[in-house]
Amino acid sequence: MLERIKKWKWKDVDWKKLDYPRIALTAVFLLAMFLLGRAVGAATHSTAAASAIARSPENWGLGFGQEGSQPSGNASAAELAKYNAYYVGNAQDKVIYLTFDAGFENGNTEPILDALKKHNATATFFVVGHYLESAPELIKRMVAEGHTVGNHTYHHPDMSGILDKETFAKEMNDVSALYKEITGQEMTPFYRPPQGKYSIENLKMAQEMGYATFFWSLAYVYWYQDKQPTKEEAFDKLLSRIHPGAIVLLHSTSQTNGEIMDELLTKWEEMGYTFKPLSDLLNKMDN
């Protein structure tokens, strides 16, 4: 086409006989096709980008400010709530929501349960398949004493790397099935992503299965079995960073947690805090 245009003898063109309306219509049509192509390309790029963001893995993290105030998360409470996910409660309520991740049993769950019973405090224990298999009597005790047992997946994988719903659902359903076999009850549909790793797509999958997802607004480093923090180190973090509406993440495998639980709950009570189950948080969010 360009060669033909170059060979045209523009001085010989009879400009009076040209069909200007047709030329204008053709130009408009070509311009419209060009703009449409640009729009489709932009929309396709935008859709692909949104899909990539939805599947992008995230590690739950917190940023702390003034002592006694709620921390910020790497996703806002409002954004998480779209997917029935939460990390903190009401900033006006001096309430603490106690949660424990239970990967295996090593003798520390019983003193934790003893302390909770002494203080009439209910907690949520997020359990994996191994814990259910190896400690069914402790699961029964949790239920009998009014605690909630939540889903921490069967094999504790990085759930953000699971992209298909069938595999995601199996990790969840295998836990709830074994829980029902042990207790005769349906599992409360509370979910905590292993290691705090998630994606928006994962949150949607859990939501579609009827689960509420719970992250946390307070934790400290204690999960190295051969390097447990001292009582003073634990209190330094857990007392200075406590805040209204805190969802506290602890692990039942920690020897330090087992040893300090009674005193820790006492100190929090002396600071004016009360303990409520996660179901109370959900009820407040709905009202």
Is 101 an annotated catalytic residue?
yes
Pick from 74, 99, 58: nearest CA to 249: 99
Query: Which neighbouring-strand residues pair with 250?
Result: 100
Catalytic residue among 101, 147, 152, 243: 101
**What SS3 state is found at 85?**
strand
Pick from 150, 167, 165: nearest CA to 205: 165
- Tokens 């224990």 appear where? 125
Q: What is the DSSP-derived secondary structure letter of residue 107? A: S
Catalytic residue among 114, 251, 262, 286: 251
Query: Which neighbouring-strand residues pair with 154?
Result: none
Is 251 an annotated catalytic residue?
yes
Tokens of 23: 């030329």
Tokens of 5: 């245009």
Query: Which of the residues are catalytic?
Result: 101, 251
